[in-house]
Amino acid sequence: MSTYRLGQPAQPGSTGPSSGMGICSGPSEAKQLKIILSLIAPQISLSSSADSSAAAAQVDRPSRPLIRGIYVPTVAFFDSETDELDVKTVSRHAVRLAKAGVSGLAVQGSNGEAVHLAQDKRSTITRTTRAALDAAGFTSMPLIVGCGAQSIIEAVKLCRDAAATGGDYALVLPPSYYAGLFDSSTVESYFVGVADASPIPIIIYNYPGATPGIDINSDTLIRLSRHANIVGCKFTCGNTGKLGRVAAAVKASGDNFQCFAGSSDFLLASMAAGAAGVIGGLANVSPRANVRLFKLAEAGPEKAAEAAALQSVLGAGDWVAIQTGVVGVKGGASGVLWLWRICPKAAAETG
């Protein structure tokens, strides 16, 4: 039996589709996507190349730059009796993290349980988080919003909603449901399509654990880094070699693209490879320790011993967080918030 790839022509003698707009025949995948989008979403245009000048003209840079440092993919809190969103705790948690010195927050990520939330709940969390930061004086802190979806059209809708509710950047997973039917060019076309139409810049979310069969390679990421509306990648794949290749290429080309580790357990190694910081769930529990490690890494060789010791501690903590998942991270964050309520001074020294 022949194996077909989405967007690739059928091979001579194959028994696959061979006429019309079949998956395996006809125009290239980029053309297929253009035709489909022209029929069902005329407002979305798909660029044929990652560094198109047309896309660059569409981009409105946000007022909150994606600076180096620690970004926290926040957890979502719910009322234990009603299962409704606990917006007060969402707000308190956001402000606690900001006061700890992190560079930015991310909502609707894996730790934020976006896959469990209806769109109105997602919008409420984004709006609540932005409002809490602004009210506490953190008006310049960037807010990243998870906008991954299985289609370009749906992802763009999420990006637009993120922009409308206070988001500055969109964190976008690749599509994965039909992963067995497409190759890396499909993933690349997807990100170009989303970036062309998104009103806010996007950050690629490379997380093979959440998208089985999809682990974006460095060549694809380097090409995507040239797109004017793609400004970074979260490497939850944990591959520092890949991160280093992309970081080196971006530095050489001068592109505005940041590489972030996807967890705290390899923050130090990723910084050595050229990362701009981390977008890591453990910082929900220990934001100050993460910020401290980032600063030690930035300080250079004279702080190497202290940095290595702290990385060992965070690595052990992150392993617990990885094993227990969202439940463990949320439990730890809830405990700190409880301590903050009864003893603010002690809580201020935690994490």
Provide the pLDDT for residue 303.
96
**100 CA to centre of own chain:** 21
Q: Which of 188, 189, 255, 260 is nearest to 217 (CA)?
A: 188
**165 CA to centre of own chain:** 17
Lowest mean pLDDT among 135-144, 150-159, 326-335: 326-335
CA-to-CA distance for 10 and 22, rounded, in angstroms? 9
Provide the pLDDT for residue 41.
46
Q: Tell me the DSSP string of 4-28.
A: --TTSPPPTT--S--STT-TTSSS-
Is 234 tagged catalytic? yes
Intra-chain end-to-end CA distance of the chain, in Å: 56
* Cα torsion angle, 286, 292, 293, 298, sign: positive
Can you state the angle between helices 87-99 and 304-342, rounded to 10 degrees?
A: 140
pLDDT average, residue stretch 302-312: 95
Confidence band of 183 (pLDDT split at 50, 70, 90):
confident
Lowest mean pLDDT among 39-53, 79-93, 188-202, 269-283: 39-53
Provide the pLDDT for residue 94.
97
Provide the pLDDT for residue 345.
55
- Check pLDDT > 70 for residue 87: yes
Sequence letter at residue 91: S
Provide the pLDDT for residue 182.
86
What is the average pLDDT score of the chain?
83
The helix or strand, by DSSP H or E, that contains position 277, with its residue range, turns out to be strand 277-279
Asked whether the beta carbons of 31 and 181 are under 8 A apart, the reply is: no
State percent of the chain over pLDDT 90.
64
Provide the pLDDT for residue 243.
98
Lowest mean pLDDT among 108-117, 238-247, 305-314: 108-117
Lowest mean pLDDT among 28-32, 41-45, 283-287: 41-45
**What tens digit of pLDDT does each residue of 46-79 get?**
443 444 433 443 445 458 999 999 999 999 999 9
Q: Which two tokens stand for residue 113?
A: 């349980």
CA-to-CA distance for 276 and 143, rounded, in angstroms? 16
pLDDT average, residue stretch 239-245: 97
Q: Which two tokens stand for residue 243?
A: 């991160």
pLDDT average, residue stretch 307-320: 88
Q: Which of 175, 165, 117 is nearest to 144 (CA)?
A: 165
SS3 of 193-209: the string is HHHHHCCCCEEEEECCC
Q: Which two tokens stand for residue 216?
A: 């974006």
* Cα torsion angle, 32, 34, 38, 44, sign: positive
Neighbours of 267 (CB within 10 A): 30
Asked whether the beta carbons of 329 and 290 are under 8 A apart, the reply is: no
pLDDT average, residue stretch 271-281: 96
Provide the pLDDT for residue 323.
72
Provide the pLDDT for residue 45.
42
Sequence letter at residue 89: T
Rg over alpha carbons for the chain, rounded to the nearest Å, is 21
234, 295, 330, 345: which is the annotated catalytic residue? 234
pLDDT average, residue stretch 180-195: 94
Provide the pLDDT for residue 188.
97
**What tens digit of pLDDT does each residue of 216-237 get?**
999 999 999 999 999 999 999 9
3-state helix, strand, coil in the chain (%, to 5): 50, 10, 40
CA-to-CA distance for 159 and 170, rounded, in angstroms? 6
Fold of 64-344: TIM Barrel (3.20.20)
pLDDT average, residue stretch 14-19: 38
**What tens digit of pLDDT does each residue of 140-179 get?**
999 999 999 999 999 999 999 999 999 999 999 999 999 8
Provide the pLDDT for residue 55.
43
- Check pLDDT > 60 for residue 15: no
Pairing of strands 258-261, 69-73: unpaired
Lowest mean pLDDT among 97-101, 119-123, 271-275, 324-328: 324-328
